Amino acid sequence: MPKEKIIFIVGPTASGKSVVAVQLAKRIKGEIISCDSMQVYKMMPILTSQPTLGLRKQVKHHLIATVAPAIEYNVSQYRREALKKISQIQKKKKIPVFVGGTGLYMSVLLHGIFEQQEVNPKIRESLLKQAKKFGSVYLYRKLEKADPQAAAKIHPHDAKRIIRALEVFQATGKPISVLQKTRKGLNHDYEVKIFGLNLPREKLYTRIEERVDRMLEQGLEKEVKKLLKSKLSRTAQFAIGIKELAGYLHGEYGWEEAVRMMKQNTRHYAKRQLTWFRKEKAIQWINLTGKEKPQEVAVKLWKKLY
RNA sequence: GCCGAGGUAGCUCAGUGGUAGAGCGCGGCCCUGAAAAGGCCGGCGUGGGGGGUCCGAUUCCCUCCCUCGGCA
Protein backbone atom coordinates (compact mmCIF):
# COMPACT_ATOMS: atom_id res chain seq x y z
CA MET A 1 0.00 0.00 0.00
CA PRO A 2 1.43 3.40 -0.96
CA LYS A 3 2.03 5.85 1.81
CA GLU A 4 -0.41 8.71 2.19
CA LYS A 5 0.68 12.21 1.26
CA ILE A 6 1.33 15.09 3.58
CA ILE A 7 2.28 18.46 2.19
CA PHE A 8 4.15 21.34 3.82
CA ILE A 9 4.33 24.86 2.52
CA VAL A 10 6.85 26.85 4.50
CA GLY A 11 8.86 30.02 4.06
CA PRO A 12 9.60 33.31 5.71
CA THR A 13 6.93 35.70 6.80
CA ALA A 14 5.32 37.66 3.94
CA SER A 15 6.43 35.18 1.28
CA GLY A 16 2.81 34.60 0.32
CA LYS A 17 2.23 31.14 1.75
CA SER A 18 -1.38 31.47 2.86
CA VAL A 19 -2.96 32.26 -0.47
CA VAL A 20 -0.88 29.74 -2.38
CA ALA A 21 -1.80 27.08 0.14
CA VAL A 22 -5.50 27.69 -0.32
CA GLN A 23 -5.20 27.50 -4.08
CA LEU A 24 -3.31 24.24 -3.84
CA ALA A 25 -5.60 22.75 -1.22
CA LYS A 26 -8.64 23.44 -3.40
CA ARG A 27 -7.01 21.67 -6.29
CA ILE A 28 -6.11 18.51 -4.39
CA LYS A 29 -8.95 18.35 -1.90
CA GLY A 30 -6.80 19.29 0.99
CA GLU A 31 -7.35 20.85 4.34
CA ILE A 32 -4.92 23.30 5.85
CA ILE A 33 -3.22 22.87 9.20
CA SER A 34 -1.40 25.92 10.44
CA CYS A 35 2.22 25.45 11.43
CA ASP A 36 2.62 28.68 13.31
CA SER A 37 3.27 29.30 16.96
CA MET A 38 1.48 32.64 16.99
CA GLN A 39 -1.51 32.10 14.74
CA VAL A 40 -2.89 29.58 17.22
CA TYR A 41 -3.77 32.49 19.44
CA LYS A 42 -7.13 34.20 19.50
CA MET A 43 -7.55 37.97 19.59
CA MET A 44 -4.58 38.64 17.36
CA PRO A 45 -5.72 38.14 13.77
CA ILE A 46 -3.98 41.25 12.40
CA LEU A 47 -0.87 40.92 14.53
CA THR A 48 -0.17 37.36 13.39
CA SER A 49 -1.46 37.80 9.81
CA GLN A 50 -3.94 34.99 10.09
CA PRO A 51 -5.55 33.89 6.83
CA THR A 52 -8.60 36.01 6.13
CA LEU A 53 -12.12 34.71 6.63
CA GLY A 54 -12.46 34.74 2.86
CA LEU A 55 -9.64 32.24 2.55
CA ARG A 56 -10.87 30.18 5.43
CA LYS A 57 -14.24 29.89 3.79
CA GLN A 58 -12.70 28.38 0.68
CA VAL A 59 -10.74 25.68 2.46
CA LYS A 60 -11.00 24.34 5.96
CA HIS A 61 -8.20 25.63 8.23
CA HIS A 62 -7.08 24.06 11.48
CA LEU A 63 -5.17 25.24 14.55
CA ILE A 64 -5.76 28.90 13.88
CA ALA A 65 -7.13 31.13 16.65
CA THR A 66 -7.91 28.24 18.94
CA VAL A 67 -6.12 29.28 22.12
CA ALA A 68 -6.73 32.28 24.38
CA PRO A 69 -3.70 34.60 24.53
CA ALA A 70 -3.34 34.01 28.27
CA ILE A 71 -2.90 30.27 27.87
CA GLU A 72 0.55 28.71 27.65
CA TYR A 73 1.15 26.70 24.53
CA ASN A 74 4.18 24.85 23.23
CA VAL A 75 5.67 22.61 20.57
CA SER A 76 4.72 19.39 22.20
CA GLN A 77 1.10 20.37 22.49
CA TYR A 78 1.14 21.59 18.94
CA ARG A 79 2.52 18.30 17.73
CA ARG A 80 -0.11 16.28 19.54
CA GLU A 81 -2.92 18.34 18.05
CA ALA A 82 -1.40 18.35 14.61
CA LEU A 83 -1.04 14.59 14.55
CA LYS A 84 -4.67 14.26 15.54
CA LYS A 85 -5.66 16.57 12.71
CA ILE A 86 -3.66 14.53 10.24
CA SER A 87 -5.57 11.38 10.96
CA GLN A 88 -8.92 13.16 11.04
CA ILE A 89 -8.30 14.70 7.65
CA GLN A 90 -7.04 11.49 6.14
CA LYS A 91 -10.11 9.69 7.39
CA LYS A 92 -12.09 12.08 5.21
CA LYS A 93 -9.91 11.04 2.27
CA LYS A 94 -8.37 14.47 2.15
CA ILE A 95 -4.76 15.61 2.15
CA PRO A 96 -3.28 17.56 5.06
CA VAL A 97 -1.46 20.70 3.95
CA PHE A 98 0.71 22.26 6.63
CA VAL A 99 1.34 25.96 6.17
CA GLY A 100 3.39 28.20 8.35
CA GLY A 101 6.63 29.79 9.31
CA THR A 102 7.57 28.27 12.64
CA GLY A 103 10.63 26.20 11.87
CA LEU A 104 10.63 24.35 15.15
CA TYR A 105 7.04 23.24 14.76
CA MET A 106 7.76 21.95 11.29
CA SER A 107 10.88 20.23 12.45
CA VAL A 108 9.21 18.51 15.36
CA LEU A 109 6.54 17.13 13.08
CA LEU A 110 9.09 15.97 10.56
CA HIS A 111 11.58 14.51 12.98
CA GLY A 112 9.63 13.87 16.16
CA ILE A 113 10.07 14.82 19.79
CA PHE A 114 10.67 12.75 22.88
CA GLU A 115 7.58 12.02 24.91
CA GLN A 116 7.77 13.43 28.35
CA GLN A 117 5.30 14.49 30.97
CA GLU A 118 5.10 18.17 31.66
CA VAL A 119 7.80 19.22 34.10
CA ASN A 120 6.57 20.77 37.32
CA PRO A 121 6.73 24.52 36.69
CA LYS A 122 8.26 25.06 40.10
CA ILE A 123 11.48 23.42 38.96
CA ARG A 124 11.80 25.90 36.12
CA GLU A 125 10.94 28.82 38.35
CA SER A 126 13.67 27.91 40.73
CA LEU A 127 16.17 27.49 37.90
CA LEU A 128 15.17 30.83 36.43
CA LYS A 129 15.79 32.44 39.79
CA GLN A 130 19.22 30.89 40.02
CA ALA A 131 20.07 32.03 36.51
CA LYS A 132 19.09 35.57 37.42
CA LYS A 133 21.06 35.50 40.64
CA PHE A 134 24.22 33.68 39.61
CA GLY A 135 24.17 33.92 35.84
CA SER A 136 23.76 31.32 33.13
CA VAL A 137 27.36 30.15 33.34
CA TYR A 138 26.76 28.98 36.89
CA LEU A 139 23.93 26.76 35.71
CA TYR A 140 26.02 25.67 32.78
CA ARG A 141 28.65 24.25 35.14
CA LYS A 142 25.93 22.22 36.78
CA LEU A 143 24.75 20.93 33.45
CA GLU A 144 28.28 19.94 32.49
CA LYS A 145 28.24 17.59 35.47
CA ALA A 146 24.70 16.29 35.04
CA ASP A 147 24.63 15.89 31.28
CA PRO A 148 27.95 16.59 29.59
CA GLN A 149 26.61 15.55 26.22
CA ALA A 150 23.85 18.15 26.31
CA ALA A 151 26.27 20.75 27.66
CA ALA A 152 28.59 20.19 24.72
CA LYS A 153 25.83 21.31 22.37
CA ILE A 154 24.71 24.36 24.34
CA HIS A 155 26.49 27.69 24.68
CA PRO A 156 27.16 28.78 28.29
CA HIS A 157 25.14 31.96 27.71
CA ASP A 158 22.10 30.20 26.35
CA ALA A 159 20.16 30.25 29.60
CA LYS A 160 16.96 28.96 28.07
CA ARG A 161 18.43 25.72 26.80
CA ILE A 162 20.56 25.19 29.89
CA ILE A 163 17.46 25.52 32.04
CA ARG A 164 15.45 23.14 29.92
CA ALA A 165 18.17 20.49 30.01
CA LEU A 166 18.51 20.84 33.75
CA GLU A 167 14.81 20.76 34.46
CA VAL A 168 14.39 17.58 32.44
CA PHE A 169 17.25 16.01 34.32
CA GLN A 170 15.85 17.05 37.68
CA ALA A 171 12.35 15.89 36.83
CA THR A 172 13.21 12.55 35.28
CA GLY A 173 16.70 11.71 36.44
CA LYS A 174 17.58 11.11 32.81
CA PRO A 175 19.80 13.33 30.66
CA ILE A 176 17.91 15.21 27.97
CA SER A 177 20.63 14.23 25.52
CA VAL A 178 19.57 10.60 25.90
CA LEU A 179 15.83 11.27 25.79
CA GLN A 180 16.20 13.33 22.63
CA LYS A 181 17.38 10.29 20.77
CA THR A 182 13.99 8.65 21.13
CA ARG A 183 12.24 10.50 18.37
CA LYS A 184 10.10 9.39 15.50
CA GLY A 185 9.07 11.62 12.63
CA LEU A 186 6.42 11.62 9.95
CA ASN A 187 8.71 10.26 7.27
CA HIS A 188 8.27 6.75 8.57
CA ASP A 189 4.58 6.59 7.86
CA TYR A 190 3.83 9.14 5.17
CA GLU A 191 5.04 10.49 1.90
CA VAL A 192 6.02 14.00 2.91
CA LYS A 193 6.46 16.79 0.37
CA ILE A 194 7.91 20.05 1.59
CA PHE A 195 7.89 23.23 -0.44
CA GLY A 196 9.76 26.34 0.59
CA LEU A 197 8.64 29.67 -0.84
CA ASN A 198 11.29 32.28 -1.13
CA LEU A 199 11.91 35.69 -2.65
CA PRO A 200 15.06 37.71 -3.27
CA ARG A 201 16.01 39.22 0.06
CA GLU A 202 15.40 42.78 -1.02
CA LYS A 203 11.96 41.94 -2.34
CA LEU A 204 11.12 40.03 0.80
CA TYR A 205 12.06 43.01 2.95
CA THR A 206 9.96 45.35 0.85
CA ARG A 207 7.00 43.06 1.28
CA ILE A 208 7.55 42.88 5.00
CA GLU A 209 7.47 46.65 5.22
CA GLU A 210 4.36 46.84 3.12
CA ARG A 211 2.72 44.21 5.27
CA VAL A 212 3.49 46.09 8.47
CA ASP A 213 2.01 49.25 6.96
CA ARG A 214 -1.08 47.32 5.97
CA MET A 215 -1.43 45.83 9.43
CA LEU A 216 -1.39 49.29 10.92
CA GLU A 217 -4.02 50.47 8.44
CA GLN A 218 -6.19 47.54 9.39
CA GLY A 219 -6.29 48.64 13.00
CA LEU A 220 -3.37 46.95 14.65
CA GLU A 221 -3.15 49.65 17.28
CA LYS A 222 -6.64 48.86 18.50
CA GLU A 223 -5.92 45.15 18.55
CA VAL A 224 -2.76 45.64 20.57
CA LYS A 225 -4.45 48.01 23.02
CA LYS A 226 -6.97 45.33 23.76
CA LEU A 227 -4.30 42.67 24.16
CA LEU A 228 -2.35 44.84 26.55
CA LYS A 229 -5.32 44.86 28.88
CA SER A 230 -5.36 41.10 29.19
CA LYS A 231 -2.85 38.67 30.53
CA LEU A 232 -0.56 37.26 27.86
CA SER A 233 1.16 33.90 27.88
CA ARG A 234 4.93 33.62 27.66
CA THR A 235 4.62 32.94 23.96
CA ALA A 236 1.83 35.28 22.94
CA GLN A 237 3.43 38.30 24.57
CA PHE A 238 6.27 38.08 22.06
CA ALA A 239 4.25 38.47 18.87
CA ILE A 240 6.07 41.18 16.94
CA GLY A 241 4.19 44.43 17.26
CA ILE A 242 3.06 44.17 20.85
CA LYS A 243 6.09 45.53 22.64
CA GLU A 244 6.85 47.95 19.82
CA LEU A 245 3.41 49.55 19.97
CA ALA A 246 3.30 49.31 23.76
CA GLY A 247 6.38 51.52 23.98
CA TYR A 248 4.69 54.07 21.76
CA LEU A 249 1.44 53.90 23.73
CA HIS A 250 3.38 54.48 26.96
CA GLY A 251 5.05 57.52 25.43
CA GLU A 252 8.57 56.09 25.40
CA TYR A 253 9.03 57.00 21.74
CA GLY A 254 7.07 58.22 18.74
CA TRP A 255 4.94 56.47 16.20
CA GLU A 256 7.61 56.50 13.51
CA GLU A 257 10.04 54.79 15.81
CA ALA A 258 7.50 52.12 16.74
CA VAL A 259 6.87 51.37 13.08
CA ARG A 260 10.58 51.31 12.35
CA MET A 261 11.20 48.83 15.14
CA MET A 262 8.35 46.62 14.04
CA LYS A 263 9.70 46.43 10.53
CA GLN A 264 13.21 45.78 11.67
CA ASN A 265 12.24 43.06 14.13
CA THR A 266 10.18 41.38 11.44
CA ARG A 267 13.15 41.45 9.09
CA HIS A 268 15.34 39.85 11.73
CA TYR A 269 12.68 37.25 12.30
CA ALA A 270 12.45 36.42 8.60
CA LYS A 271 16.21 36.04 8.46
CA ARG A 272 16.17 33.55 11.32
CA GLN A 273 13.34 31.65 9.68
CA LEU A 274 15.40 31.29 6.54
CA THR A 275 18.36 29.91 8.47
CA TRP A 276 16.07 27.34 9.99
CA PHE A 277 14.51 26.27 6.73
CA ARG A 278 17.79 26.15 4.82
CA LYS A 279 18.90 23.47 7.23
CA GLU A 280 15.98 21.24 6.27
CA LYS A 281 17.37 19.44 3.26
CA ALA A 282 14.07 17.85 2.27
CA ILE A 283 12.62 21.22 1.29
CA GLN A 284 12.08 21.82 -2.41
CA TRP A 285 12.68 25.49 -2.84
CA ILE A 286 10.42 27.54 -5.06
CA ASN A 287 12.23 30.74 -5.88
CA LEU A 288 9.82 33.51 -6.72
CA THR A 289 10.29 37.00 -8.05
CA GLY A 290 7.24 38.35 -6.28
CA LYS A 291 5.38 38.97 -9.52
CA GLU A 292 3.75 35.55 -9.85
CA LYS A 293 0.07 35.13 -9.12
CA PRO A 294 -0.69 32.76 -6.22
CA GLN A 295 -2.63 30.66 -8.68
CA GLU A 296 0.45 30.12 -10.85
CA VAL A 297 2.57 29.18 -7.88
CA ALA A 298 -0.05 26.72 -6.72
CA VAL A 299 -0.06 25.06 -10.13
CA LYS A 300 3.72 24.85 -10.03
CA LEU A 301 3.56 23.04 -6.71
CA TRP A 302 0.76 20.81 -7.90
CA LYS A 303 2.85 19.65 -10.83
CA LYS A 304 5.61 18.63 -8.47
CA LEU A 305 3.26 16.45 -6.45
CA TYR A 306 2.68 13.61 -8.83
C1' G B 1 33.16 86.14 -0.21
C1' C B 2 35.29 85.86 4.91
C1' C B 3 35.73 83.15 9.66
C1' G B 4 35.05 78.58 12.26
C1' A B 5 33.99 73.16 12.47
C1' G B 6 34.12 68.89 9.75
C1' G B 7 34.56 65.11 5.57
C1' U B 8 36.89 57.54 8.23
C1' A B 9 32.02 51.08 7.36
C1' G B 10 25.11 51.41 5.05
C1' C B 11 24.22 55.22 9.46
C1' U B 12 26.16 57.92 13.97
C1' C B 13 30.93 58.59 15.36
C1' A B 14 36.12 57.20 17.94
C1' G B 15 41.35 56.80 17.16
C1' U B 16 46.57 56.50 15.48
C1' G B 17 53.25 58.65 11.70
C1' G B 18 53.65 51.80 10.83
C1' U B 19 47.15 51.01 5.70
C1' A B 20 41.71 51.51 11.18
C1' G B 21 37.92 50.50 15.22
C1' A B 22 32.72 51.03 18.41
C1' G B 23 27.40 51.06 18.52
C1' C B 24 23.42 50.40 15.36
C1' G B 25 22.43 48.29 10.54
C1' C B 26 23.64 44.21 7.43
C1' G B 27 25.21 38.99 6.68
C1' G B 28 25.95 33.87 8.44
C1' C B 29 24.93 30.11 12.05
C1' C B 30 22.84 27.23 16.39
C1' C B 31 18.34 25.54 18.16
C1' U B 32 13.40 19.77 19.91
C1' G B 33 8.17 21.33 25.77
C1' A B 34 8.55 30.07 25.75
C1' A B 35 10.60 29.39 19.19
C1' A B 36 7.58 35.97 16.12
C1' A B 37 11.54 33.42 21.82
C1' G B 38 16.73 32.62 23.13
C1' G B 39 22.04 32.17 21.96
C1' C B 40 26.78 32.49 18.93
C1' C B 41 29.97 34.37 15.02
C1' G B 42 31.53 37.93 11.09
C1' G B 43 34.15 44.43 9.57
C1' C B 44 31.15 44.18 5.21
C1' G B 45 36.32 50.22 4.19
C1' U B 46 40.06 53.06 -2.71
C1' G B 47 40.04 56.90 5.50
C1' G B 48 36.44 63.41 0.00
C1' G B 49 40.08 64.27 -4.85
C1' G B 50 45.11 65.61 -6.16
C1' G B 51 50.06 66.81 -4.82
C1' G B 52 54.15 67.11 -1.13
C1' U B 53 57.31 65.68 3.39
C1' C B 54 58.82 60.87 5.23
C1' C B 55 61.72 54.35 4.93
C1' G B 56 56.36 54.63 5.68
C1' A B 57 50.55 59.11 5.75
C1' U B 58 44.16 57.78 7.43
C1' U B 59 47.27 60.62 10.79
C1' C B 60 51.88 66.20 9.15
C1' C B 61 51.94 70.25 5.02
C1' C B 62 49.74 72.51 0.39
C1' U B 63 45.67 72.72 -2.87
C1' C B 64 40.88 71.75 -4.77
C1' C B 65 35.90 69.91 -3.86
C1' C B 66 31.79 69.10 -0.49
C1' U B 67 28.76 69.67 4.18
C1' C B 68 27.36 72.41 8.52
C1' G B 69 27.38 76.92 11.64
C1' G B 70 28.47 82.27 12.08
C1' C B 71 29.49 87.02 9.59
C1' A B 72 28.44 89.42 5.20
Question: How does pLDDT run across A263-295, given as a tens digit for each residue?
Answer: 999 999 999 999 999 999 999 999 999 899 999
Q: Which nucleotide is nearest to A75 (CA to C1')?
A: B33
Q: Which nucleotide is nearest to A39 (CA to C1')?
A: B36
Distance between the alpha carbon (CA) of A72 and the C1' atom of B34, Å: 8
Distance between the alpha carbon (CA) of A203 and the C1' atom of B58, Å: 37
Give the CA angle between residues A63, A67, A73 to the nearest 5°.
Answer: 90
Distance between the alpha carbon (CA) of A153 and the C1' atom of B30, Å: 9
Check which CATH number belongs to the domain holding A209 and give it. 3.40.50.300
Beta-carbon contacts of residue A71 (< 8 Å; ≥ 6 apart): A233
Single residue among A179, A197, A225 that ends a domain in this structure: A179
Confidence at residue A118, expressed as pLDDT on a 0 to 100 scale: 83
Q: What is the mean pLDDT of residues A97-123?
A: 92
Same domain, A141 and A210: no
Same domain, A175 and A189: no
User: How many CB atoms are closer than 10 A to CB A258?
Assistant: 21
Distance between the alpha carbon (CA) of A208 and the C1' atom of B60, Å: 50
Please state, in angstroms and as integers, the Cα–Cα distance from residue A202 to each residue in A95, A127, A277, following that order: 34, 42, 18
Confidence at residue A148, expressed as pLDDT on a 0 to 100 scale: 93
**pTM recorded for the entire structure:** 0.90
Confidence at residue A1, expressed as pLDDT on a 0 to 100 scale: 66
Confidence at residue A257, expressed as pLDDT on a 0 to 100 scale: 87
Distance between the alpha carbon (CA) of A251 and the C1' atom of B23, Å: 24
Single residue among A155, A179, A203 that ends a domain in this structure: A179
The per-residue pLDDT of chain A, averaged, comes to 93
Q: Which residue is nearest to nucleotide B24 (CA to C1')?
A: A264
Residue A165 has pLDDT above 70, yes or no: yes
Residue A300 has pLDDT above 90, yes or no: yes
Window from A10-19, A137-146, A204-213, A252-261 with minimum mean pLDDT = A252-261
Q: What is the mean pLDDT of residues A53-63?
A: 97
Check which CATH number belongs to the domain holding A172 and give it. 1.10.20.140
Residue A2 has pLDDT above 80, yes or no: no
Single residue among A158, A179, A200 that ends a domain in this structure: A179
The residue with greater pLDDT, A284 or A120, is A284
A186-202 per-position pLDDT tens digit = 877 899 999 999 999 98
Window from A20-24, A181-185, A259-263, A275-279 with minimum mean pLDDT = A181-185
Q: Which nucleotide is nearest to A36 (CA to C1')?
A: B36
**Extended strands (E) in chain A:** 4-10, 30-34, 61-62, 95-100, 190-198, 283-287
Total number of domains in chain A:
2
Nucleotides of B under 7 A from a protein CB: 25-40
ipTM of the complex: 0.90
How large a percentage of chain A has pLDDT more than 70?
100
Residue span of the structural domain in which A101 resides: 4-113+185-303
Residue A88 has pLDDT above 80, yes or no: yes
Residue A100 has pLDDT above 90, yes or no: yes
